[in-house]
Structure 1
């Protein structure tokens, strides 16, 4: 069975692709620019754009399952072409679909729920890999500086998300369900910094920033204004529910979710060496 992965070049998508390859399935990745893609040679790379459904015919041809992003771009704009994509997927013979991050657009949600596919919504709570964005500051200053430092999130390991996607797309059995994917415990940024300090064996401090301080710091780092606004708005409105731990990972995979301490140990080198893989790409 050919499995199509949208967002397969992002932080999350690359883990999904690697996990699916281990099952022996044919894995196909959709991308806007095939020349810019660096993926294992076994992967089929097909050009297309989720915002232009007519470009997806080749990607969907022969695919039995699809992992679909529900938002596109750096600002995570909700996908507005869900109705067309779902119709094309059904006509192409797609049977199963996982949809990442439900709730970003009612139009897509309704299209998925009204389709004849075996669909499953997945909402990962803050990928642990997002902390790779701290690598430069930790290497340079031994410090992490962020606003809203008291927020608690049950961040999930990207490999756990990949395991869930793989299990659903290859084995089925979760049609019509929505799963919130979390790690085993809610942590504040300072908690994560403490784990990174243990994993790296170096002293790392956390500094709480006000909104104005964060805005000034990010401007100095070259962030675009819309990106700054998006991050501050997102963190200011984080609901308490993101700290709630679920059993979804274990329910689907049969294994408990990996801890942030495990993630920190596996990625310690990224916070120590400038030559390390500090990829802060999207969750797709």
Structure 2
């Protein structure tokens, strides 16, 4: 396991951890020795070709790439601006058979501080005054997948060649902002107030939390767009094959499940 230094602890004793970065693969070429499958997460366009070249030389037989939802939207812009599309195309151009996983937002991202749409600022708001301030409070929706379900999808793709050459849409249905707040309130046993703030107020709030303008723009767009097209996007999610349930062999966990499991971290 090649892990960033801050992620180097907590692994089972059977896992050999090498602290480093997938963005600088040339510094730790030894991690590819003897590997037959490669789970590629955290890649960046500039160095992913090197990762794949090292994997090819080491005799890796299968790559599973953790991509992101919606990379096809990048294709409307010049190739030099691509991120996920550039990574996916590099993987597809490699000689190693590959599976690409495109997940929706991960529920646990709330605790990791990834971007505003996941509610990264909510735990602090809950601890402050039990009030969550969010734009599009009554109409906003966003799709989520439980991190353990996503891990199970990745494990299924790594263990067999069933999904080789495919793109797996590891997506959950759009979840409303209000239902997420209600689920957290039930989990922690407290009454939470959801306050609908304007776009300008949300932008100012997220700036104060340190979010870059790009992340703020994407979040505002997504919350409004998913809210306006909830029925259409829910149908799209239901139409994906194989479904997450079919891949992992059980019912995917819901947002309420996640909230119950992590209640102690949310208050």
Alignment TM-score, normalising by the size of structure 1: 0.73
Per the alignment, residue 37 of structure 1 pairs with: 8
Please list every run of 5 or more consecutive structure 1 residues that lacks an aligned counterpart in the other structure: 1-27, 72-77, 273-284
Distance (Å, rounded) in 1 between the aligned partners of 2:106 and 2:32? 28
Instruction: Provide the aligned length of Structure 1 versus Structure 2.
Output: 232
CA 1:236/1:214 → structure 2, altered by over 3 Å: closer, same or farther? closer
Per the alignment, residue 260 of structure 2 pairs with: 265
Please list every run of 5 or more consecutive structure 2 residues that lacks an aligned counterpart in the other structure: 72-82, 112-119, 227-231
8 Å CA contact retained: 2:67, 2:84: no
Per the alignment, residue 151 of structure 1 pairs with: 140
More helix by share: 2
Q: Does structure 1 residue 196 correspond to structure 2 residue 220?
A: no
106-115 or 158-167, which moves further after superposition? 106-115
1:237 is matched with which residue: 221, 243, 246? 221
Any residues of structure 2 matched to 1:8-87 within 5 Å, and which? 28-31=1-4, 33=5, 37-40=8-11, 41-69=13-41, 71=43, 78-87=44-53
Distance (Å, rounded) in 2 between the aligned partners of 1:42 and 1:95? 22
SS of the residue corresponding to residue 36 of structure 2 reads strand
Q: Deviations over 1:241-270 (max 9, x none)?
A: 765434531121121211111111111222
Q: Does structure 1 residue 218 correspond to structure 2 residue 218?
A: no
SS of the residue corresponding to residue 250 of structure 1 reads helix
Per the alignment, residue 249 of structure 1 pairs with: 244
Distance (Å, rounded) in 2 between the aligned partners of 1:242 and 1:70? 27
SS of the residue corresponding to residue 197 of structure 1 reads helix
Q: Deviations over 1:211-253 (max 9, x none)?
A: 33123333444x2xxx231321111332547654345311211
Q: Deviations over 1:36-91 (max 9, x none)?
A: 732233321213333333224112111111111255xxxxxx42222222121111
Q: Deviations over 1:134-185 (max 9, x none)?
A: 21211221121123433322210000001111111123311011111123x4
SS of the residue corresponding to residue 44 of structure 1 reads coil
Shift of 1:112: 1.1
8 Å CA contact retained: 1:30, 1:48: yes
Give the RMSD, CA atoms, in angstroms. 2.3
CA 1:192/1:91 → structure 2, altered by over 3 Å: closer, same or farther? same
Alignment TM-score, normalising by the size of structure 2: 0.77
Distance (Å, rounded) in 1 between the aligned partners of 2:260 and 2:28? 40
Any residues of structure 2 matched to 1:105-144 within 5 Å, and which? 105-132=84-111, 133=120, 134-144=122-132
Distance (Å, rounded) in 2 between the aligned partners of 1:242 and 1:158? 21
